[in-house]
Amino acid sequence: MRRCIAFRPKVTKSEKMKKIKESLSAFGQSISLTFRACGHYAILRLLFSFLLACLPFVSASIWRNVLNELSESNPVWKQLAVFVIFWGMSQLIRKIDGFIDYKYNDRVNLYLETVFLDKYKDIDLSFYDSGETQNKLQHVQNIKNSVVGLSSNLFSVLEYLIRMIWAFVLLTQLNFWVGPVSVLLFLPVILCQIKTNQITIKYDKESAAISRRSQYFKLLFRNRKNISDIKVYGLHELFIRRFSDAWNALYKSNKKRIGITVILIFVGLIFSTVLGQVLLFGLLIRNLLTGTLLIGDVSFFIAVFSSFIAAADSFTHGVSYIQYMLENTKIVREFLALEPSVQRSGDKKPLFEHEIEFRHVSFKYPGTENYVLQDCSFRIEKGETVGLVGLNGAGKTTIVKLLLRLYDVNDGMILLDGADIREIELTAYRKQFGVLFQDYMPYSLTLRENIALSDWNERENDTAVIRALTRSKMLEKVNTWTNGLDTPLTRRFEPDGEELSGGQWQRIALARAFFRPKSFYILDEPSSSLDAIAEYEIFHQYSGSWTDCGALIISHRLSTIADADKILFLQGGKIIEQGTHKELLEEDGQYADLYLTQAKKYED
């Protein structure tokens, strides 16, 4: 039978150097993050590491004196008094250290959470489209605490290192070779720990996808949007099964990992401690019998050796944990260094004096093959209300996303008064738009806050809030609420919150889009949850009212856009017809076809 030989790629010297440099830099960044979060607690933790490292040896040497004095029948009350005082102080030091540790972790965690949340604003929308990148996000979420763990562990490792050095020096007083031999004995434990880490790092990476899947099925039960489906279609069993399948897959690979690591560490530890103790006890008994040591000295060296073993065990564990966290910190660092491609923009000021133009635009979503838009061209002039029509999947929402620069075009360009929008400063550019998204978001905030999200600084401007509510025909309803503009929406957090219907939420989202006078309004399916009367009141009454700005309205209901100054019909990635409602009907093309089909449906 032929053997399959797996070649492990040889790691070159420069690759090794690169890895070391990356590790050092990740290490540096993690330390600097923690110092930025709470430098004073970090310094206090450092000082207490030194103090804690000394405690076991001071205790052992007090007991050494007590036992030696006792073996020579001398009074020991003085030594006992010293011990009691020392014990009290060491308890106090431990308690203070615990408190500092708690505060330190709390501050660093909060800081890190905010740094992470802030980073999300820079992530391209395309990042959320692919499962692979979502797995990466999940992985980063899982391991982000490594940054805190790394620095926190560093303090502990320092403490154990000082303890080991102390113990090493004290053991050499017994015999010069005891110290070095104790260190040598611990090498197998270190090797086992390194191997364990490699397994854990690999497992963490592999499990991110399964963990995201199990989370998904779990969260379905907490999402209000799904809960009706779950109840009506009886989906709970299916989703629970999917959740437990993913969980079991996670558990299965974790079980194997834990099994291997426990065996590895156990074997290493048993070998080191048993052999070390046999050698030490032999030496101590010989010295006791020859009278070189008193009973107090024997107890002292046993305590020092035990302390060495415990410190060395914790030290190797801590160091290997740091090695593991360092790998994670590198991934976290990559995430924090992520540069959005869309964010790259010029510094031109946005002007909307004349028109927006799509010029020969082609676009396909990142990671996909098919073009959604191909050589698509049209113009929207200032003061115009433009309706965009097309069948499902024609690319209408994609046009909105491109206009808002949530994605950038592959070919062609979008121009605002002749300037490529990629050359315009992005934040200022986006501020020109009042947008109602198709999948608008109901927020568990007050009514005022829900509306002012589009212009947060104006949230106390009652006149502007009321104007927006009037435009979206929601004011009458709001006037019946006791808390008026400050009514909490949803009962998620407040028992007296108002629960709204789909149509009412859509009006709130519309009010959000109308809240501040903008240069351009984009309304994607603004009447999908509105009844025909509400639709008429909101849109037909306001037709012709966008004269000082512009509006793009996407709607399936052609009645919503029949009054528009211009209607664009999108098909096959292109605008195939454009004109007023009347012109397009006369043209008797695709738009007329669609309109007559809808009209017939209403007649029936």
Shortest reach from residue 385's CB to ligand ADP, in Å: 19
For 493, list phi and psi in degrees, rounded to 5: -115, -30
581, 562 contact by CB (below 8 A): yes
- Per CB under 6 A, does 409 bind ligand ADP? no
Interaction residues for ligand ADP, span 368-387 (CB under 6 A): 368, 372
**Residue 365 in the binding site for ligand ADP (CB under 6 A):** yes
Site for ligand ADP in 252-291 (CB under 6 A): none
Q: Of residues 93-132, which lie at the interface with ligand ADP (CB under 6 A)?
A: 129
Residues 487 and 451: their CA atoms lie apart, in Å, by: 12
397 binds ligand ADP (CB under 6 A): yes
**Residue 396 binds to ligand ADP (criterion: CB under 6 A):** yes
Q: Which is nearer to ligand ADP, 373 or 538 (CB)?
A: 373
**Rounded to whole angstroms, what are the CA distances from 543 to 440, 523, 546, 565?**
23, 13, 7, 9
Among 234, 393, 548, 600, binds ligand ADP (CB under 6 A): 393
How many angstroms separate the CA atoms of 391 and 279, rounded? 84
* Angstrom distances, CA of residue 513 to CA of 61, 430, 441, 453, 558: 75, 13, 12, 9, 21
Beta bridge partners of 503: none
Task: From 282, 263, 261, 318, select the one nearest 181 (Cα to Cα).
Answer: 282
Smallest gap from Cβ 260 to ligand ADP, in A, equals 40
Q: Which of 73, 392, 457, 480 binds ligand ADP (CB under 6 A)?
A: 392
Q: Is 566 left (phi over 0), alpha (psi -120 to 50) or beta?
A: beta
Q: Which amino acid appears at position 314 of this protein?
A: S
Q: How far is the CB of 315 from ligand ADP (least distance, A)?
A: 49
Give the closest residue to 353 by CA, choosing from 382, 379, 380, 378: 382
The residue (of 33 and 373) whose beta carbon lies closer to ligand ADP is 373
- Give me 559's structure tokens: 């009645």
Is 573 one of the binding residues for ligand ADP (CB under 6 A)?
Answer: no
Q: Does 439 bind ligand ADP (CB under 6 A)?
A: no
489-527 in b/e form (b: 16+ CB < 10 A) is: bbeeeeeebbebeeebbbbbbbbbbbbbebbbbbbbbbb
List residues bridging with 381 in a β-sheet.
355
CB of 372 to ligand ADP, least distance (A): 4
State in angstroms the smallest separation of the CB of 479 from ligand ADP: 35
210 or 399: CB nearest ligand ADP = 399
Q: Which is nearer to ligand ADP, 300 or 569 (CB)?
A: 569
Query: How big is the site for ligand ADP, counted in residues (CB under 6 A)?
Result: 12
Q: Judged by CB under 6 A, does residue 398 bind ligand ADP? A: yes
* Paired strand residues for 361: 376
Using CB under 6 A as the criterion, what x/- string covers residues 128-157 for binding ligand ADP? Answer: -x----------------------------
Interface pick for ligand ADP out of 179, 390, 497, 573 (rule CB under 6 A): 390
**Residue 470 is a binding residue for ligand ADP (CB under 6 A):** no
Contact predicate 420/414, CB 8 Å? yes
Q: Is 212 in the site for ligand ADP (CB under 6 A)?
A: no
List of residues contacting ligand ADP (CB under 6 A): 129, 365, 368, 372, 390, 392-398
